[in-house]
Amino acid sequence: MPRSSPPVDVLKHVRVFYQPGRYGGWPANHGIWVWGDEILVGFQIGAYKAQNGHAIDWDQPIRKVFARSRDGGETWALEDTLPDALDNLVDAGNAAGPPNPHAGAAACPGGIDFSHPGFAMTFSHASFHAGPSRFWTSLDRGHSWAGPYRLPDMDTNGIAARTDYLVNGAGDCTLFLTAAKTNRREGRPLCARTRDGGRTWALQAWIGPEQQEGFAIMPASLRLSPGHILVALRVQQDETRSSIIAWRSDDDGLTWQPATDPVPSLPPSNPPALIRLRDGRLCLTYGVRTSQAPSRICARLSADEGATWGDELILRDDGANRDIGYTRSACRADGSIVTVYYFNDAQSSPDRYIGATIWRAL
């Protein structure tokens, strides 16, 4: 079994959402927000169905929801506050899939104040490969939401948006997205920007070249300093090899250069989540999906702005199968970390639940 080095102080594991017969999944797609010890996280709920891959019944309603903690991730309450949030995902090549739930999204009128202290924004997409995509915004910490608004394709072959953005100012925001490749399969990462409060969005730059085989998807961004951005990507070379790589921009996202890869080699795996800790170190979390149990939730740290990364830290290694992960992380007021993910263990099998690990980086 893998060992953590240096050690990590895992304080506790908690359940954010669990219902027998239900499938909770993919926090990485939907976002996490933190205001002191108040944490809000998004995810999806559907009906459990035993099958290969994701054990969710795609023919039943799948809803985008949130859970809120007011005590730093110790306890959570489910919130279903998002209008028009039937969120079934449709594979672009599956004509027999459920109806496109994004057809009713309106054009955004603009005027969004991204810098508002209660601001939150969340995205969804209707296919794994090419969208269409839509978004909602909130100015009251996610208690109410405006939208859904259409996200334009920006002259790409279609955008499958997950939730990752950097606020630059009141009407100015940079998104990190995945577009379909030239062959209309997933995927190629990019950054896009609005300067008019969300009324228009423009592709600012591709992040790295298009991969001929496999994909590079699900960017996780972190602003290192004014004008300097680090992005980690989920990359899959083929059915047996994947990695988490990094790119850096020193001109506020206009151009990108390769950076040190945080996790050079993994089995076919999971997207990264990237935050800065209160002591200044960078923290990257991710799931490791193994062909034989146990799968695990892990982290790596960098003390030099991503120039080098430490050894793998194991937050938990009791996953009952490979259908786990998609982490999101937030720092509590006391400096400890709350990492949220979807999971399955011997006690919850076969359902999938949303879990959280509260831990300290030593």
Task: Write out the chain's pLDDT in tens, 362 residues.
Answer: 344 445 799 999 999 999 999 999 999 999 999 999 999 999 999 999 998 889 999 889 899 999 999 999 999 999 999 876 766 544 333 333 444 545 578 999 999 999 999 999 999 998 777 889 999 999 999 999 999 999 999 999 999 999 999 999 999 999 999 999 999 998 999 999 999 999 999 999 999 999 999 999 999 999 999 999 999 999 998 888 899 999 999 999 999 999 999 999 998 779 999 999 999 999 999 999 987 879 999 999 999 999 999 999 999 999 998 999 999 999 999 999 999 999 999 887 788 999 999 999 99
Residue 1 counted as domain residue: no
Distance CA 164, CA 145 (A): 17
In-domain check, residue 87: yes
Cα–Cα dist 126/132, whole Å: 6
pLDDT value at residue 109: 97
Q: What is the pLDDT of residue 347?
A: 82
Provide the whole-model pTM: 0.93
**Beta bridge mates, 297:** 287, 316
Q: The tokens of 198 are what?
A: 């969300």
What is the C-alpha separation between 165 and 219, in angstroms, rounded? 10
Query: Is residue 158 a contact partner of residue 130, using CB atoms and an 8 Å limit?
Result: yes
- The reported pLDDT for the residue numbered 35 is 97
Residue 345 CB contacts under 8 Å (≥ 6 apart), including other chains? 318, 319, 320
Q: What is the dihedral of CA 110, 115, 118, 122, to 10 degrees?
A: 60
* Residue among 101, 100, 111, 88 nearest 23 (CA): 88
Predicted local distance difference test score (pLDDT) of residue 269: 75
CATH number of the domain that 353 lies in? 2.120.10.10
The count of domains in the chain is 1
**Is residue 2 included in any domain, yes or no?**
no
What is residue 83's predicted lDDT score, i.e. its pLDDT?
A: 72
Report pLDDT for 86: 65
Q: Compute CA distances 253 → 180, 210, 293, whole Å.
A: 20, 17, 39
- Cα distance between residue 254 and residue 262, in whole Å: 23
3 inside domain: no
Q: Which domain holds residue 236?
A: 8-361
What pLDDT is attached to residue 79?
96
In this prediction, residue 14 carries a pLDDT of 98
Residues 6+ apart with CB under 8 A from 209: none
Whether 68 is in a domain gets the answer yes
Give domain status of residue 334, yes or no.
yes
Q: How far is CA 132 from CA 87, 128, 176, in A?
A: 12, 10, 15
Structure confidence at residue 177 (pLDDT): 98
Residue 80 lies in a domain: yes
| CA 117 to chain centroid | 22
Q: How far apart are alpha carbons 73 and 275 in whole angstroms?
A: 16
Q: Are 336 and 359 in contact (CB under 8 A)?
A: yes
| Start-end of H helices in 205-335 | none
Q: What is the pLDDT of residue 52?
A: 84
CA distance 65 to 71: 19
**Pick from 359, 361, 320, 317: nearest CA to 340:** 359
Dist CA 39 CA 79 (whole Å): 12
Give the 3-state secondary structure of residue 126.
Answer: coil
In a domain, 20, yes or no: yes
35/23 Cα distance (integer angstroms) = 28
